[in-house]
Amino acid sequence: MPLNKAKNTVQAAQLPVNKLRPFEGHPFQVKDDAEMEQLVWSILTQGLLTPITVRPLPNDEYEVISGHRRLHACQKAGIEMVPALIYALDRDAAAIALVDSNLHREKILPSERAFAYKLKLEAMNHQGRTSGQVGQKWTRDEIADGESGRQVQRYIRLTELIPEILALVDNGKIALTPAVELSYLTQQEQRDLLETMESEDCTPSLSQAIQLKKLSQAGELDMDKIFDILREPKANQQDKISFRVEDLRKFFPKSYTAARIQETILKLLSDYQKKRQRENAR
C-alpha cells in the first residue's frame, strides 16, 4: 500500500471486526463468489496473513482503507479479531491511498475504475483547495500511472450513467467510447434508451451514441428518435432472424427450456439439410 511511513504514524494492533467499517463510498465491489469462498477457506485454515489497513474514527471505530474483501471474508468465517495497521489519515489522504492500493489489481471493472478515479480526483482537489492550490487539470494527469488525464476524465464520465447502462459497460455489451457519449444524456433519456435497447435487443454503436448525444444537447431527443436511431443498420451488421419463445412453445413439450428448444430446432434444420442433399444427389 503506497503510504509514506515516515510521514504517517502507523500502529499494529488486533482489532475487533465489529469495530471496522467499510470506507464510505468506496468504489470496489465485494462479491460472494468462488474467489471469496477460497479466501474464507484460507482464513479459516491459515488465518489472516495480510493485515487490514485502517484509519481511526472519532467514535472509537475504524474505517477500512485496504482490505474490504478480507474483512468480508473474516465476517463470513466468524472471525472476531483481525490484525490491522492503523494510520492516522484524514478522509482525503485515506481516499487516495484506498484507490492507489487497488488500481494494481488484475481485474477492475470499468465502473470500479470510474468511481475510483472520481473519488481520488475529488480528494486531490479538496486537498488543493484546503492548501490554497488550484489545478484540477493537473490532478487528472496524476490520477493513475499509464493513464492520460483525458482517459481518466472519460472514465469519470461513466459515473453519469444510470446503473443499468453502466452494468452493460461492465459486462462488455457497450464499449467505453460509446458509453462516454451516452453519459451526456439525461437520466430520463437514458431510461428511455434502456427501454428501447431491451425491446429491440440491441445496443448503440459509436455513431449512434454520438447522434443521441447531439439530439440530447439540442433538447430534441425523445423516445421516437431513440427508436429510429437504434433501428438504423450498423456497419458490418449481420441479418438475423428472431422468434419469441412463447410463439414456439406450442410445438414442443412443456418441459423444454428455451435452450433445448433452440438446440432441437437447429438439429431439425440440420437433418432437413442432409435430406435435401441426399435427394439432390440422386
Residue 59: per-residue pLDDT: 87
What is the mean predicted confidence (pLDDT) over 138-163? 81
Judged by average pLDDT, the poorest of 114-118, 211-215, 248-252 is 248-252
What is the mean predicted confidence (pLDDT) over 278-282? 75
131 or 249: which carries more pLDDT confidence? 249
174 or 268: which carries more pLDDT confidence? 174
Cell of 277: 442433399
Residue 216: pLDDT band (50, 70, 90) is very high
In CATH terms, 1-102 corresponds, of 3.90.1530.10, 3.30.56.10, 1.10.630.10, 2.40.50.140, to 3.90.1530.10
- Using the predicted structure, report yes or no on whether residue 1 has a pLDDT greater than 50: no
Judged by average pLDDT, the poorest of 52-61, 111-120, 131-140, 216-225 is 131-140
Which of 133, 108, 114 has the alpha carbon at shortest distance from 29?
A: 108
Task: List beta partners, residue 54.
Answer: 64, 86
Q: What is the pLDDT of residues 169-189, one digit of tens each?
A: 999 999 999 999 999 999 999
What is the mean predicted confidence (pLDDT) over 201-206? 93
- Using the predicted structure, report yes or no on whether residue 228 has a pLDDT greater than 80: yes
Could you write out the three-class secondary structure of the chain?
CCCCCCCCCEEEEEEEHHHEECCCCCCCCCCCCHHHHHHHHHHHHHCCCCCEEEEECCCCCEEEEECHHHHHHHHHHCCCEEEEEEECCCHHHHHHHHHHHHCCCCCCCHHHHHHHHHHHHHHHHHHHHHCCCCCHHHHHHCCCCCCCHHHHHHHHHHHHCCHHHHHHHHCCCCCHHHHHHHCCCCHHHHHHHHHHHHHHCCCCCHHHHHHHHHHHHCCCCCHHHHHHHHHCCCCCCCCCCCCCHHHHHHHCCCCCCHHHHHHHHHHHHHHHHHHHHHHHHC
